[in-house]
Amino acid sequence: MSSSARRIDVHHHFVPPPYREVMARHGIQKVAGAELPTWSASDSLKVMDANAIETALLSISAPGVYFGDVDEACSLARSCNEYTARLAEQHPGRFGSFAVLPMPLTEHACHEAAYALDTLNADGVVLLGSTQGKFLGAPEFDELMAELDRRRAVVFLHPNLHESSEQLGLGAPGFLIEFLCDTTRAAVSLILSGTLERYPNIRWILAHAGGFLPYVAWRLSLANLLPQYTTSAPAGVLSYIRRFYFDTALSPAPFPQAALRELVEPSQILFGSDFPFAPAPVTTMQRVTLETSPIWGDDVRRGIDRRHALTLFPRFATAGESIINSATRDEGVLTSMKYAAANASVRLIDRLRNR
């Protein structure tokens, strides 16, 4: 490796042969306007070594594994997850995995999550912000959320192209703007549906610095004034937003990083490359941009590179390496009392307004 940074890349895709074959069979050559890239494990290792990435957590990108055939989706998910498990065995410490699930088929997704996490020792699962038009936070996914919550699973939330995005006719490739919309919509759905409140043990990583979420966080917090959300989001919208982790993939510039700095603790920010959809030169450009960022000091940069990820993935720590304790989610008695009082005020104001 080119330096001692020993980065952990939480946003690193792979395109195994079984996946490429199914995509070809369905005539899919592009993902959100980007060509489906060629990929091999050696390609990943080469770019990892060039950018001091010690470990890459592999994930399947959009559009996932479901193309209308249930059996095909389940078989393809299993093939992809077993492929990454073999890679991890062949290259100890270099590869981890976010298991792909046959979404939006909740029962089958639960079954595959259990197998991947318990038998294949996957490091978490990857879920698309929306699948077949259904966003995370929809009630039909509660069984899966309960399963992941029970296991304290890490979920990497990656965008997809929602059907409404595909109908806009903007002319811009989906990865430029619409991917960011999908992530933002899914995050908001998870909050306002009460999913984050009901299943607090799931650790969520949002791709691409959270899409537009950091920029619109204060505006979204106005939902605290709406009585229909006092039960589903009783801790306040900003509190739930600050529970997310955010990766730096395709978002290393000062603009998005400054927004994250003002919104969340630095320990919530993780290195991501988006390789191979972000080809090797772009991966290097992202790494250099972060290394020279005026937003972060050296200590925080080292945390983004590696230490923050070890909170979620302690198995990659070496002997004697310190792990930052994850931030507590206990709001405390005073904070709980504050939100209870605020919620009571919202209900009172709403009653008076509607008299």
Mind listing the pLDDT tens digit for each residue in 160-193?
999 999 899 899 999 999 999 999 999 999 999 9
User: In the structure encoding, which two tokens stand for residue 227, read together?
Assistant: 């009585």
In this prediction the pTM is 0.92
Predicted pLDDT at 350: 52
Which of 247, 237, 309, 253 is CA-nearest to residue 274? 247
Q: What is the pLDDT of residue 323?
A: 85
Q: In this structure, is residue 15 part of a structural domain? A: yes
How long a stretch of residues is the chain?
355
Share of the chain above pLDDT 90, in %: 86
pLDDT of residue 45: 98
Per residue in 288-343, pLDDT tens?
999 999 999 999 999 999 999 999 999 999 988 888 765 444 444 445 455 554 55
Burial (Cβ within 10 Å: 0-12, 13-18, ≥19) of residue 259 = buried
Looking at the domain assignment, is residue 335 inside a domain?
no
Average pLDDT along the chain: 92
Residue 348 predicted with pLDDT over 50: no
- Beta bridge partners of residue 62, listed in sequence order: none
Rounded Cα distance between 107 and 103, Å, is: 9
In the chain, how many domains are there? 1
Residue 350 falls within a domain, yes or no? no
Q: Is residue 344 part of a domain?
A: no
Tell me whether residue 355 is in a domain: no
pLDDT at position 340, please?
Answer: 52
pLDDT, position 319: 86
Using alpha carbons only, give the angle 78, 82, 84 rounded to the nearest 5 degrees.
125
CATH number of the domain enclosing 17? 3.20.20.140
Please give the average per-residue pLDDT across 27-47, as a whole number: 97
User: How sure is the predictor about 352, in pLDDT bands with cuts at 50, 70 and 90?
Assistant: very low
Kindly tell me the burial class for residue 2, based on how many C-beta atoms sit within 10 Å of its own C-beta (0-12, 13-18, 19 or more): exposed
Could you report the per-residue pLDDT of 62-88, keeping only the tens digit for each? 999 999 999 999 999 999 999 999 999
Residue with tokens 């003002």: 262
Q: Structural domain of residue 76, as residue ranges?
A: 7-329
Q: In the 8-state DSSP scheme, what is residue 295?
A: S
Tell me if 334 is assigned to some domain: no
Is residue 1 assigned to a domain?
A: no
Q: Does 276 fall in a domain?
A: yes
pLDDT at 5: 84
The pLDDT tens digits for 120-155 are: 999 999 999 999 999 999 999 999 999 999 999 999
